[in-house]
Chains A and B, each alone.
Chain A
Amino acid sequence: MKDEAKDIDNKVRDLENSVINPSQVKGWGIDADPKNDPTYPMKKRNNGEHAGYSWERPPQQPIDIEVLHSNERPNVSATFGTSVPPSGLSGVIRREAFNFSENSYGHWLPLMLADRINMVEGIVSDLARGHVPNIFGEMGWKADWKHDRANLVTKVVIGAALGTAVFALLRNRRKSRRTENYF
Chain B
Amino acid sequence: MLAMNYRGPRRVRIDHKPDPEILHPEDAVVRVTRSCICGSDLHLYNGSVPDTRVGMTFGHEVCGIVEEVGQDVEKLKVGDHVLVPFNIACGRCVFCQQELYGNCHESNSQATAVGGIYGYSHTAGGYDGGQAEYVRVPYANVGPTIIPEGMHPDDAVMLTDVVPTGYQAAEMGGIQPGDTVVVFGAGPVGIMAARCAWLFGAGRVIVIDHVEYRLEFVKNYAPAEVYNYKELDDVVVFLKQTTDWMGADVVIDAVGAEATGRAMQTLLGKKLHMVGGAATALHWAINSVKKGGIVSIVGVYGPIDTLVPIGNVVNKGLTIRGNQASVKRLLPRLIEHVQNGVLDPKALITHRIPLEEVSEAYKMFSAKLDNCIKPVLIPPSARV
Contacts and interface: CB of A to CB of B under 8 A. Distances in A.
Contact of B303 (A102, A118, A140): A102
A90 to B, nearest CB: 8
Given A48-B98, A59-B24, A79 B53 contact: no
A28 to B, nearest CB: 24
A77 B139 CA distance: 12
Contacts of A25: none
B93 A55 contact: yes
| Interface hub of A62, A67, A72, A147 (most chain B Cβ within 10 A) | A147
A105 to B, nearest CB: 7
Contacts of B361: 140, 143
B51 to A, nearest CB: 5
Nearest to A134: B13
A55 B23 CA distance: 22
Interface string B82-120: 000000101011110111100001111111110010010
B327 to A, nearest CB: 12
- Which of under 10, 10 to 19, 20 to 34, or 35 or more describes the interface residues of A? 35 or more
Contacts of B303: 102, 108
B384 interface: no
A45 B113 CA distance: 19
B113 A102 contact: yes
A81 interface: yes
A121 B6 CA distance: 13
A44 interface: yes
A165 to B, nearest CB: 24
Interface centre among B88, B97, B122, B361 (most CB of A within 10 A): B122
Nearest to B109: A69
B323 interface: yes
Interface residues on B, range: 35 or more
Interface in B102-152: 105-113, 116, 119, 122-123, 125-128, 138-139
A141 B13 CA distance: 12
B367 interface: yes
B126 A80 contact: yes
A69 B330 CA distance: 30
Interface stretch (B54-62, B180-188, B226-234, B259-267): B54-62
Nearest to B302: A108
A58 B360 CA distance: 40
A148 B99 contact: no
Interface string A52-87: 011111110110000111101101111111111010
A122 interface: yes
Contacts of A90: 53
A55 B94 contact: yes
A79 B55 contact: no
A70 B110 contact: yes
Given A58-B90, A147-B364, A115 B51 contact: yes
A76 B109 contact: yes
B7 interface: yes
Contacts of A38: 319, 321
Contact of B323 (A42, A45, A53, A142): A42
Contacts of A108: 50, 302-304
Contact of A42 (B10, B99, B367): B99
B7 A119 contact: yes
A6 B54 CA distance: 52
B50 A46 contact: no
B19 to A, nearest CB: 13
A55 B92 contact: yes
Given A81-B126, A140-B359, A122 B54 contact: yes
Contacts of A159: none
Interface string A129-146: 000011101111111101
A165 B128 CA distance: 44
B309 to A, nearest CB: 21
B55 A84 contact: yes
A48 B94 CA distance: 6
Most central of A46, A83, A114, A139 by chain B CB within 10 Å: A83
Contacts of B13: 133-134, 137-138
Given A59-B72, A68-B122, A116-B47, 11 more contacts: A41-B171, A42-B329, A55-B97, A77-B105, A78-B106, A79-B90, A80-B109, A80-B116, A102-B113, A122-B54, A142-B360
Interface of B: 7-13, 23-27, 47, 50-57, 72, 88, 90, 92-95, 97-100, 105-113, 116, 119, 122-123, 125-128, 138-139, 168, 171-172, 273, 302-304, 319, 321, 323, 326, 329, 357, 359-364, 367, 369-370
Interface of A: 38, 41-46, 48-49, 51, 53-59, 61-62, 67-70, 72-73, 75-84, 86, 90, 94, 98, 102, 105, 108-109, 111-112, 114-116, 118-119, 121-123, 133-135, 137-144, 146-148
Instruction: Report, nearest first, the 5 A-B pairs whose CB atoms are least far apart.
Output: A140-B363, A81-B126, A119-B8, A81-B127, A122-B54
16 contacts: A38-B321, A55-B97, A58-B139, A59-B24, A61-B138, A68-B110, A80-B108, A80-B116, A81-B116, A82-B126, A122-B55, A133-B11, A138-B11, A138-B12, A138-B359, A146-B370
